[in-house]
Structure 1
Amino acid sequence: MKRVLGVALGVLTAIGGFVDIGDLVTNAVVGARFGTSLVWVVLVGVVGICLFAQMSGRVAAVSGRATFEVIRERLGPRMGGANLIASFAVTILTLTAEIGGIALALELASSVERRLWVPFAGLAVWLVLWRVKFSILENVTGLLGLTLVVFAVALFLLGPDWGDLVDQAVHPGVPAGEARTTYWYYAVALFGAAMTPYEVFFFSSGAREEKWTAKDLSQSRINVLVGFPLGGLLSIAIAACAAVVLLPRAIEVTSLSQITLPVAMAGGKLALAVVILGVVAATFGAALETALSTGYTLAQFFGWSWGKYRRPAQAARFHTSMLVVVVLGTLVLLTNVDPIAVTEYSVVFSAIALPLTYLPILVVANDREYMGEHVNGRVTNGLGLVYLGIIVVASVAAIPLMIATGAGQ
């Protein structure tokens, strides 16, 4: 029973990290423009995040230290500082997008303009961070986020041409009317959405919150192998729904209502209510993760007291830093900025920051001083090096592709 309950951390990371506003928007946009021809990117991303999250969780369990603490100590302040700056900037951008996603979902449910919801969304995120225990935070948000399985149910109810969807997925290509550069731009964006830096920092810090040790390595593997593949399957369902409903009608995704349209068409008002609940839960969970990740990285780099298991008075700088970033994201959204646009940029900039996040994790996971007999094996290192190559290519290509395509236009 304890092992089953422990999977909640993996589920929360999948729903709030893999299936967040970035994944909802990017997969819907891709499905509406390219069908299922970019499903392969989601699969590559799932394997990659499983690989590095497993390393990150193992480092935390074996060393008794969160990954960022070890990176700062092992690689020094310069490398750790570069990692901090890159991941922190991307995480704040992602947090802004998640709070915007909460507001968009509440707007869809109530027809009240999203900017009126933004202050309430920011306040709710901060209150949960300030007052709610980590175990409650992960269990409630993760379980509610599972309602996004309604996308998979809707796909079956829509009765698509399964042969055509599978053919697009296994024989990927650039559809007529789309440029090759645009196709690869969205491939990079999908990859960035799957492997956002905050996921591994949250996962390793969450392992310390739950006081994992080397005895919990099997628990870590279960969390990774259940959580992230679940997120990947939901991502594919979102893209497939858009391919079935939006692509034939040439509908471009510019709002949350278009993302949820296939579900509403398949299941009516009840299904729409369920998917709105799922979007609120997923974006709220991701907002909690990203805000916690900013606090975790800052505190671990500077040596502050940190952790949800500590009262705010015992970890004042950790909690204050989270309050500041939530307020900052909320203030940005109170301008006329479009949350969907913020989301699209956040996943691309995530791709740019990937090398500074994942190279240090690979280095630390091979350090016998911290890991002892639990260092990476040959197969893990081989896969890690392959993925580092992919990560570097995606990072280098992101800005040129963004310029060449006008951010995917």
Structure 2
Amino acid sequence: MRNFLKNLGPGILVSAAFIGPGTVTICSVAGVNFGYSLLWALSISIFACIILQEMSARLGLISGKGLSDCIRDELKNPAIRIFILFLIFSAIVIGNAAYEAGNITGAVLGVEAVFQSKNFEVGAFSFNIWSLLIGGIAFFLLYLGSYKKLEKVFIGLVLLMSVAFILTAIITQPDITGILRGFIPGSFDAGLLTIIALVGTTVVPYNLFLHASLVSEKWNGPQYLGAVRKELVFSLLLGGMVSMAIVICAAAANIDKIESAADLALGLEPLFGNSATIFIAIGLLAAGITSSITAPLAAAYVVQGCLGWKGGMQSKRFKAVWMIVIILGVIFSSLGIKPVEIIQFAQIANGLVLPVVAIFLFWIVNQSSVLGKHKNNLWQNIIGFIVIALSVFLGVKSILNVIQNF
């Protein structure tokens, strides 16, 4: 057990990254609108996430490099390499800068569910104090520049988030039979867009880059492959349990319409008292803080790999990237600016980049020159092909949805 706890780290950060305010809101919407009936879709998304993240982790462990480094090294055609790296750069860096505002705002909603909103005026602008505080926390933790310190912080935050949401689900006294039925696929028509959103918020493109880089930082050598896989499966299953707990909470809430996770806290209060509101607020705060750290960190790793920078987390250029992402997130969140066009671009780019990255990851983990005897076997290729087909479907649908909303 001591060795297992010692090996916790990269997978926990990946779980923390996909359970952000957006995931909390999407799971809340699924629960409010469809009850327990979409738990099967969450199960599929968690399975797909484990398959892709295992490939990414194995790549980072065996090659000792991040995914963007490997893509840059393996693509020999200069024109194709520049195009693919530009697409990745645009989707991850610009996308994460836009979504950082949502991460910080989500954490603020958690605070404001318990405490009042606090603003101060600077000329014609009104700044939210909680946005500045949460951005400052993310800035401070990343500025420490120590992967081991980040690990400890994230383990604590993920455990806090897990306890908060799972306890809230228990408090709601859910229908166990209804939950079990929710794992059986039903009609696709009513919740198709919600199904796409559930899978899309779990299988996150930037996590594929983040995981490979984090694994290469923590471990060195194929002898750790078993530990990497155990830590990954445990962490993602824990993250999946949190997502399911949120769906269960929302299914029990007396809400007709939900636009954010803060509405979930308000809906639970009349039924289950102030304790449910506090637990949801704590979970949302932890989800917002963890995502506010992982999004800038992933952006910095992607830039480092795309441009071939050296120096790791201590590099001034590496720090400059995550600083810019956090600052933009704080500004957009604090001033209430909604960077709609940037987010729409990020959605289209991410819709393109998920299948592209998944295909390149699939290609690289089949290269003997990169992974040797640890390349994909037949079953890994069959399952990986199915997951990639799912990612292509999701990518096409997400792009069509954004285009229809222009």
Q: TM-score range by the shorter chain?
A: 0.7 to 0.9
Q: State whether structure 2 residue 194 is matched by structure 1 residue 186.
A: yes
Q: How much does 1:349 deviate? A: 6.5
Alpha-carbon shift at residue 22 of structure 1 (Å): 1.6
Q: Does 1:162 align with 2:163?
A: no
C-alpha distance in 1, partners of 2:327/2:93? 15
Deviations 1:101-137 (A, max 9, x none): 1222222232124733212222221121112522121
Aligned to 1:153: 167
* Letter matched to residue 291 of structure 1: P
**CA distance, structure 2, for counterparts of residue 32 and residue 119 of structure 1:** 31
| 1:402 Cα offset (Å) | 4.8
Q: CA deviation at 1:283?
A: 1.7
Go from structure 1 to structure 2 and tell me whether the alpha carbon gap of 1:323 and 1:13 turns closer, same or farther (over 3 Å shift): same
How far apart are the structure 1 equivalents of 2:353 and 2:94?
9
8 Å Cα contact 2:110-2:280 kept in structure 1: no
User: Is the Cα–Cα contact under 8 Å of residues 261 and 284 in structure 2 kept in the other structure?
Assistant: no
- The superposition leaves residues 33-81 of structure 1 with CA deviations (integer Å, 9 ceiling, x where unpaired) of 1212222221111111111111111111111111211111112333233
CA contact (8 A) 2:36 2:178 kept: no
Do the aligned partners of residues 5 and 276 (structure 1) sit closer, same or farther apart at CA in structure 2, a change above 3 Å counting?
Answer: farther
Q: Following TM superposition, by how much is the alpha carbon of 1:342 offset from its aligned partner in structure 2, in angstroms?
A: 9.9
- Whether 1:214 and 2:219 are equivalent positions in the alignment is no
Specify every segment of 5 or more residues in structure 2 that has no aligned partner in the other structure, as ranges: 76-80, 120-127
**Is 2:43–2:240's contact at 8 Å kept on the other side of the alignment?**
yes
Aligned counterpart in structure 2 of residue 303 of structure 1, from 295, 302, 308 = 308
Number of residues paired by the alignment?
Answer: 391
Cα distance between partner residues in 2 of 1:43 and 1:344 = 27
Residue 386 of structure 1 corresponds to: 386
Distance verdict in 2 for CA 1:304–1:171, change over 3 Å: closer
2:68 is equivalent to residue 68 of structure 1? yes
Letter in 1 for 2:294: E
Letter aligned with residue 141 of structure 2: V
CA 81–349 in structure 1, closer or farther in 2 if over 3 Å, else same = closer
C-alpha distance after superposition, 1:201-224 (max 9, x if no partner): 111111122143212111210121
Q: 1:123 to 1:286 in 2, by over 3 A?
A: same
Change in Cα spacing, 1:289 to 1:295, as seen in structure 2 (3 Å) is: same
For 2:177, what is the secondary structure of its paired residue?
A: helix
Q: Answer whether contact 2:165 2:283 (CA < 8 A) is retained.
A: no
| CA–CA distance in structure 2, aligned partners of residues 121 and 342 of structure 1 | 22
Residue of structure 2 in register with 1:5 after alignment: 6
- TM-score, scaled to structure 2: 0.87
- How much does 1:371 deviate? 0.5
Within 5 Å, which residues of 2 pair with 1:192-271?
192-246=200-254, 249-250=255-256, 252-261=257-266, 264=269, 268-271=273-276
Deviation at 1:262, TM superposition (A): 6.1
CA RMSD of aligned residues (A): 2.7
Q: 1:128 aligns with which of 133, 138, 141?
A: 141
| Residues 263 and 17 of structure 1: CA distance in aligned 2, closer, same or farther (over 3 Å) | farther
* Separation in 2, partners of 1:371, 1:145: 31
Render the CA deviation track for 1:363-388: whole Å, top value 9, x for unaligned: 11111111111100111111111111
- Determine the C-alpha separation between the residues in 1 that align with 2:271 and 2:339: 26
Alpha-carbon distance change, 110 to 132 in structure 1, aligned in 2, over 3 angstroms: farther
Give the fraction of aligned pairs with identical amino acids, expressed as a percent: 22
Aligned twin of 1:43: 43
Match of 2:122 in 1: none
Distance in 2, matches of 1:287 and 1:33, equals: 28
**SS of equivalent to 2:65:** coil
Alignment partner for residue 98 of structure 2, among 93, 96, 103?
A: 93
1:173 aligns with 2:173: no
Structure 2 SS opposite 1:354: helix
Q: 1:144 pairs with 150, 157, 160, which one?
A: 157
- In structure 2, relative to structure 1, the CA distance for the partners of 1:240 and 1:290 (3 Å cut) is same
- Equivalent residues of 2:10, 2:232 under 8 A apart: no
236-245 or 163-172: bigger deviation: 163-172
2:284 corresponds to 1:276: no
More displaced 10-residue stretch of structure 1: 123-132 or 337-346:
337-346
Cα distance in 2 between the residues matched to 1:290 and 1:35: 30
User: Does 278-287 or 292-301 show the bigger shift?
Assistant: 278-287
- Pick which of 24-33 and 133-142 moved more: 133-142
Conservation of the 8 A alpha-carbon contact between 2:28 and 2:261? no
| In 1, Cα distance between equivalents of 2:62 and 2:95 | 28
Contact 2:100 2:329 (C-alpha < 8 Å) held by counterparts: yes
State the shift of 1:307 in Å.
2.3
Normalised to the residue count of structure 1, the TM-score between the two structures is: 0.87
Change (3 A) 1:393 1:10: same
Moved more, 17-26 or 92-101: 92-101
Q: Distance in 2 between matches of 1:340 and 1:269?
A: 34
**One-letter amino acid matched to 1:8:** G
Are the counterparts in 2 of residues 291 and 322 from structure 1 also a CA contact under 8 Å? yes
Q: Distance in 2 between matches of 1:340 and 1:237?
A: 30
